[in-house]
Amino acid sequence: MQPIPAIDPRHDVLIVTDVQNDFCPGGALAVADGDAVVPAVNALARRFEHVVVTQDWHPPGHRSFASSHPGRAPFETIELDYGPQTLWPDHCVQGTLGAALHAGLELTRAELLIRKGFRPDIDSYSVFYENDRTSPTGLAGYLRERGFARLFICGLATDYCVAWSALDARRLHFDAVVLLDACRAIDLGGSLERALQAMREAGVTLAQASELR
Q: Known catalytic residues? A: 18, 116, 161
Helix axes 191-202, 163-171, angle to 10 degrees: 20
Report how far residue 122's alpha carbon sits from residue 94's, in angstroms, rounded to the nearest whole number. 15
Contacts of 92 (CB under 8 A, 6+ apart): 18, 20, 22, 23, 28, 29, 55, 56, 57, 58, 98, 99, 117
Report how far residue 76's alpha carbon sits from residue 143's, in angstroms, rounded to the nearest whole number. 35
Q: Which of 165, 141, 137 is nearest to 151 (CA)?
A: 165
Residue type, 84: P
CA–chain centroid gap for 177, Å, is 13
| Element at 164 (helix H, strand E) | helix 163-171
